[in-house]
Amino acid sequence: MNFDLTDDRRMLADTLNRYLADKYSAEHRANVAYDAPYHDPKKWAELVELGILFALAPEEAGGFGGSGFDISVVFEALGRANCPEPVLPALLAARLLISAGESLESLLSDEKHYAAALGEIDAPYDLSDIQTIAVANDGGHSLSGRKSAVYGGQIADIFLVAAKLDGKLALFEVQASDAQIETYGMIDGGGAAELLLDNTPARLVMNDAEAALQDAMNAGALAVCAEAIGLMDVTHDTTVDYMKIRQQFGKPIGTFQVLQHRAVDMLTEIEQARSIVIKAASELDGENASRYVSMAKNLVGRAARLNSEEAIQMHGGIAMTWEYPTSHYAKRLIMIDHQFGDTDFHLTRIMNDL
């Protein structure tokens, strides 16, 4: 396998990393990620101008990317800055609209904000457990149910909703103005919403949508895995830098062999996680996508927990403070495990596939 980025992807990565390093400091992130609308609309508009949304869609859909590697490049850069901008909901919506043969024009131009309403309180990960029901009527369809933790739902104009129609999964479009929406900030920054549907009018976008919905879930899981790589890179580098300046017993703690070994263990876990994310990216559009994404999500979840815990322990109390960036990085790393299936869910998925 070729581990080198293409020139276009290297340029995309360089552009995003440079922009986020200049414009999205840890202080700015802390100021915008925890208060409504839980991101910075001005910075979002600038990211759209940079073409970040076009990197999530293939040429035939109006973009210039859309592959697993394009997704991983974008989200690893976002992870380095711990950026809470709503790129993830745009990715999920793009994958669903492409599968349904719908136009991406309003999404790519940022004319409309989309959110994918997939998970539910009793069905956070497994699509087969979805309980939202669609009923056909004279005007089309209506939906009843509750969608939970809808990423980007706090700013969405349109929701793409997974629901059961005649016992099969289907995809519907619901206008935000027609639904009851409860918005909130997530514990690790960024926004989400609860979508409450009670005979809510909806347009059928795609029937028999199980494969399309699973593809979107796989793409979302790959995205947060790549984000975790960026987060862990920064967390490890920050910890090593701190070990060089923190004095104990008259010398830097980085000179203590036991801490050196722990820092190496952190790096080893990161590189193992990076390798499986590369493999999952290469398989995203193949028939084994779900299997390799589950492998990545399980390994990344374990590596992220180890790196966040080790970083906090080797920093000491300062890593728990609001002002120090490591606390926010560690919190995001822990919460990534709970998006699109945790380590236990994906381990079970892999075991059942054997």
The rounded average pLDDT for each run of 10 residues, N- to C-terminus, in the chain (354 residues) is 71 94 96 97 96 95 94 97 98 98 96 97 93 91 97 98 96 98 97 98 96 98 98 97 91 92 96 97 96 98 97 93 95 97 96 80
232 in the same domain as 336: yes
Q: State the CATH number of the domain containing residue 326.
A: 1.20.140.10
Predicted local confidence at residue 7, as pLDDT: 76
Distance of CA 62 to the CA centre of its chain: 22
Report if residue 2 sits inside a domain.
no
pLDDT score, position 8: 80
Determine if residue 175 is left, alpha or beta; phi over 0 gives left, psi from -120 to 50 gives alpha, anything else beta.
beta
Q: Output the domain CATH number for residue 65.
A: 1.10.540.10
Predicted model pTM: 0.96
Residue 160 maps to which CATH number?
2.40.110.10
Q: Which helix (H) or strand (E) holds 14?
A: helix 7-23
Task: Give pLDDT, residue 111.
Answer: 97
State the pLDDT at residue 1: 52
* Residue 50 belongs to domain spanning: 7-108
Q: How many Å apart are CA 229 and CA 231, to the nearest integer? A: 5
Distance in angstroms (rounded) separating the CA atoms of residues 232 and 311: 10
Summarised one tens digit per residue, pLDDT across range 230-276 is 999 999 999 999 999 998 888 998 989 999 999 999 999 999 999 99
- Give the pLDDT score at 6: 79
69 Cβ contact partners less than 8 Å away, ≥ 6 residues apart: 5, 6, 9, 281, 282
- Residue 172: predicted pLDDT: 98
Q: What is the pLDDT of residue 261?
A: 96
Number of domains observed in the structure of the chain: 3
Q: Domain check: are 297 and 267 in the same one?
A: yes
Tokens encoding 36: 């409504």
Long-range own/partner contacts, residues 126-132 (CB < 8 A, 24 or more apart): 126/345, 127/162, 127/169, 127/210, 127/213, 127/214, 127/217, 130/162, 130/163, 130/164, 130/169, 131/164, 132/161, 132/162, 132/163, 132/164, 132/197
**CA-to-CA distance for 324 and 331, rounded, in angstroms?**
12
Q: How many CB atoms lie within 10 A of CB 19?
A: 18
